[in-house]
Amino acid sequence: LLATAIGLTSGCSWFSKNSDQDQAELADPTVSAAQLYDEASSAMRRDDYGTAIKKFETLEGRYPFGAYTEQAQLEVAYAYYKYNEPDSAIAAADRYIQIHPQGKNVDYALYIKGLSNMDRGDSLINKIAKPNLAYRDQSILHNAYAAFSELVTRFPDSKYVDDASVRLIKIRNDLAEHEIYVARYYMKRGAWLAAANRAQTALSKYNGSTSTIPALEILISAYKKLGLKTEAADAEQILKATRAANKIPAPKV
């Protein structure tokens, strides 16, 4: 136990010395931009994102027009993302794009912005509690979608396009599923027109999503409840064709 206590004390002393050294370097105006950048990069490699953020931001504040500044402005966005501070990551990415609209790494900034927005929409509480989609902030997913869409549209040759494209599909499916959840909510309460409108939104806005068949099923039921026989029959034909095209058998009655 004594040896363990001594080891812990020594460890605390080591961390304290390193922290004091870092603070001294941050306060020392003679530390060069190159040194700050190297130390920030080293901190990133050992997953010490808090230290990396401090050094990148010190570099930018002290050398706003230096050779390392643009890269530091970009990498601090990634550091914030890895540090589980998505709001700060988004702000840093936006700032990079605003300062360097023609920068060679705008595609990466958009990618980090999209990832960070997805993290905001999938927080630790959501991962644990798994709340219904109707209670999630859909604007966050819309923001992620906008960032990935801009990346894919503006930079089709970017190495981040493939992953961004996969994430766009997932986000579209999630947004469509939200519409279905709300449509079912309205169906349970007899709000047939509201349910039909939500199902239509899932079909028109998120065409081809994984919620296409559920949306058509809700639409048919809502139309029948509203007495819209022609519209219900048309939707049934579309549902039949959709199932056939995707080789999905009709449910057994």
Q: What is the pLDDT along the chain (253 residues), one digit of tens a residue?
A: 545 444 545 555 544 445 555 555 555 667 899 999 999 999 999 999 999 999 999 999 999 999 999 999 999 999 999 999 999 999 999 999 999 999 999 999 999 999 999 988 665 445 555 555 455 678 999 999 999 999 999 999 999 999 999 999 999 999 999 999 999 999 999 999 999 999 999 999 999 999 999 999 999 999 999 999 999 999 999 999 999 988 788 776 5
Rounded CA-CA distance 180/139 in Å is 17
What integer pLDDT is reported at residue 8 of this predicted model?
47
Residue 160 has a CB neighbour count (10 Å cut-off) of: 19
- Using alpha carbons, list the distances in angstroms from residue 151 to 75, 175, 218: 18, 19, 34
What integer pLDDT is reported at residue 21 of this predicted model?
56
What integer pLDDT is reported at residue 127 of this predicted model?
55
What integer pLDDT is reported at residue 137 of this predicted model?
76
Rounded CA-CA distance 35/150 in Å is 35
What integer pLDDT is reported at residue 93 of this predicted model?
98
pTM: 0.81
What integer pLDDT is reported at residue 250 of this predicted model?
74
- Using alpha carbons, list the distances in angstroms from residue 58 to 67, 87, 167: 14, 20, 34
Cα torsion at 53, 56, 62, 65 (round to 10°)?
A: -140
What integer pLDDT is reported at residue 14 of this predicted model?
44
Domain locations along the chain: 27-159, 179-253
Does the domain formed by 27-159 have CATH 3.40.120.10?
A: no
